């Protein structure tokens, strides 16, 4: 458990799903998905990644396949399956807002329930919309939440820039221990301003990354970013202890996604 003092804020009561109120004063809803419909994720809000995308991961991300991503009963569920679909041993889904909605500065909140099991790697994260031009890591990456199934009670919060990233052993981040985190929904929050990024878990601040200057290799977060929700299996981090063959189907559930801005 990190030992830094935690900051608390009160979640506003009385808000309706159609008009949620920001937990931090001064923000207004700019974009959201309450998943109050059925079928595939709303095409006006989300795009799909497809294929074997990154990190040497085991899963093949499918596009618009209900078996891997479905909205029902007010919930988005991303499911990793060992089903051999189109010759791919393991399938899952990764959805993102690139091309639909990106933004600069704001407060992001996601209520989600992670799966567990050796090999799982669910995440809530963001990338700079200029990644096609700048590439990674110069585009900047904000990891609102990551969890790897071989260390299931530890929740990770990280930032990656050209100067600070895991590939050179300099990434900035924190983690907390949450007993049986997979048994319940939790609220993941991130406030991004012109000079700081703060991470929250169930209303408690768990990490802060401060701007050190105008050097884009250290602070690229003056460009728009887009949001990603995915469930990976295996890969460079998630697969470090192997993959338990009994984890399938593995379900990652999301109750809502809300983005507020001033």
Q: Is 166 helix (H, G, I), strand (E, B) or coil?
A: helix
In the set 50, 146, 212, 223, the catalytic residue is: 146
Q: Is 181 helix (H, G, I), strand (E, B) or coil?
A: helix
**141: closest CA among 45, 229, 226?**
226
Q: Residues with Cβ < 8 Å from 140, sequence gap 6 or more? A: 127, 128, 159, 160, 161, 220, 221, 223, 225
Distance from C-alpha of 123 to C-alpha of 80, rounded to nearest angstrom: 13
Structure tokens that stand for 165 in this block? 């990233």
Distance from C-alpha of 1 to C-alpha of 182, rounded to nearest angstrom: 17
In the set 141, 153, 191, 212, the catalytic residue is: 141
8 Å CB contact between 58 and 239:
yes
What percent of the residues of the chain are helix, what percent strand, and what percent coil, each to the nearest 5?
A: 5, 45, 50
Q: Residues with Cβ < 8 Å from 8, sequence gap 6 or more? A: 203, 204, 205
The 8-class DSSP code of residue 86 comes to: G
Alpha carbon 67 to chain centroid, angstroms: 21
Q: In the annotation, is 146 catalytic? A: yes
Task: Give the CA dihedral 237, 137, 24, 254, nearest 10 degrees.
Answer: -40
Q: Is 71 helix (H, G, I), strand (E, B) or coil?
A: strand
Structure tokens that stand for 97 in this block? 């807002």
- The residues that are catalytic are 141, 146
């Amino acid at each position: 458990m990190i030992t830094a003092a935690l900051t608390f804020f009160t979640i506003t009561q009385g808000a309706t799903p159609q008009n949620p109120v920001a937990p931090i004063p001064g923000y207004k809803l700019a974009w959201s998905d309450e998943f109050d419909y059925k079928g595939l994720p709303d095409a006006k809000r989300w795009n799909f990644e497809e294929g074997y995308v990154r990190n040497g991961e085991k899963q093949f991300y499918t596009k618009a396949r209900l078996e891997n991503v479905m909205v029902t009963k007010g919930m988005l569920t991303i499911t990793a399956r060992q089903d051999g679909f189109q010759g791919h041993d393991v399938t899952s889904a990764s959805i993102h807002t690139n091309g639909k909605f990106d933004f600069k500065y704001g407060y992001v909140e996601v209520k989600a329930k992670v799966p567990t099991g050796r090999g799982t790697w669910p995440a809530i994260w963001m990338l700079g919309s200029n990644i096609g031009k700048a590439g990674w890591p110069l585009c900047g990456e904000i990891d609102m939440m990551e969890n790897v199934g071989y260390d299931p009670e530890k929740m990770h919060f990280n930032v990656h820039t050209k100067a600070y990233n895991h590939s050179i052993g300099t990434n900035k981040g924190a983690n907390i221990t949450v007993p049986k985190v997979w048994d319940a929904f939790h609220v993941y929050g991130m406030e991004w301003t012109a000079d700081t990024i703060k991470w929250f878990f169930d209303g408690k601040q768990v990490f802060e990354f401060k701007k050190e200057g105008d050097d884009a290799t250290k602070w690229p977060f003056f460009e728009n970013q887009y949001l990603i929700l995915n469930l990976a299996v295996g890969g460079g981090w998630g697969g470090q202890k192997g993959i338990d063959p009994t984890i399938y189907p593995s379900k990652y559930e999301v109750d809502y996604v809300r983005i507020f801005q001033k």
